[in-house]
Amino acid sequence: MTTYHINQAGFAENAQFIVSPNFDDRALHTGCADTAPATEDGISLIVIHNISLPPSQYGGNGIIELFTNQLNPDEHPYYAQIHTFKVSAHFLIRRDGALIQFVSCLNRAWHAGVSNWQGRERCNDFSVGIELEGSDFEAFEAVQYQTLNNLITAIRKAYPIQSIVGHSDIAPGRKTDPGPYFDWQQVTR
């Protein structure tokens, strides 16, 4: 199994890198109008998601095309609804365990949306977003948990992670992922 190391530039060595334009500089949200550039100390949360494009179909390029603003609205009816979304995540773990990185951990990926964790809003400011190729309707693969745990270990070595949560934990009522088939007992916390 591949081990990962997050380098000083915020990239996981041994991961495939595909550039997403959907990111910006991190800012620490202090609860007031002003924000300051984040340091590594500002990264304290890991948010786990699931995604499949088209919905409940795996292995295609839909996720990559969405995160790189290249999704063709004519390829699938669902794509017509989402092709203008400007979203990303730091990482994607495919069904076969392959790891793709889209955004440096030092930058803010656009994965959480309107969110709150322990009284802190705007979770994108202080989190790393990890997407697992999957859905709310079936189990994830054992190899995905292996890659996820190796990645979590690497992220924890690089940043002072305090919590690992699901998208549903930071956006309850709005989001359901990683879903009922995600087995939290298999996650290194």
Positions annotated as catalytic residues are: 131
> How far apart are the C-alpha atoms of 49 and 61, rounded to whole Å?
18
Q: How far apart are CA 106 and CA 84, in angstroms?
A: 25
* Beta bridge pairs of residue 46: 128, 164
**Among candidates 162, 164, 157, 179, which has minimal Cα distance to 47?**
164
Backbone angles phi, psi at 37, to 5 degrees: -60, 140
Rounded to whole angstroms, how far apart are CA atoms 99 and 84? 25
- The whole-angstrom distance between residue 51's C-alpha and the CA centroid of its chain comes to 10
